[in-house]
A = this chain, B = another copy of it.
Amino acid sequence: MGKREPEIGRIFHALGDPMRRAIVERLRERPHSVSALAGPLKITLTAVGQHLKVLEEAGLVRTEKLGRVRTVRLDAEGFAVLEAWAAEHKGEWARRLDRLGDLLGGE
């Protein structure tokens, strides 16, 4: 339950929340348990769990439960999808500038 293939809409929505971005930043250093994430963020374990669900469904985070501890780490998949989208939409500008000549002459 939870894991889905990363879809750009989910990714943007997931990263649109500052708390979830904070979680991502913490995870860049190293994997954390859910409690370890909750501590400095000053929100409840429950809230963190809800954020993690969103991040996991976006493919940005992967979790694994051993005993009673769930370990959370970043998942490259979602970030790869995001990077691809961003690169394509930014790369568009080169093409757009190429087309500028046409626009100046045409419609």
Contacts and interface: CB of A to CB of B under 8 A. Distances in A.
Contact of A15 (B12, B28, B83, B87): B12
A86 B89 contact: no
23 contacts: A8-B21, A9-B21, A12-B15, A12-B16, A13-B16, A15-B16, A28-B89, A28-B92, A74-B92, A74-B96, A76-B90, A76-B93, A79-B86, A79-B89, A79-B90, A79-B93, A80-B90, A82-B86, A83-B83, A83-B86, A83-B90, A85-B86, A87-B87
Interface of A: 8-9, 12-13, 15-16, 18, 21, 24, 28, 30, 74, 76, 79-80, 82-83, 85-87, 89-90, 92-93, 96, 103
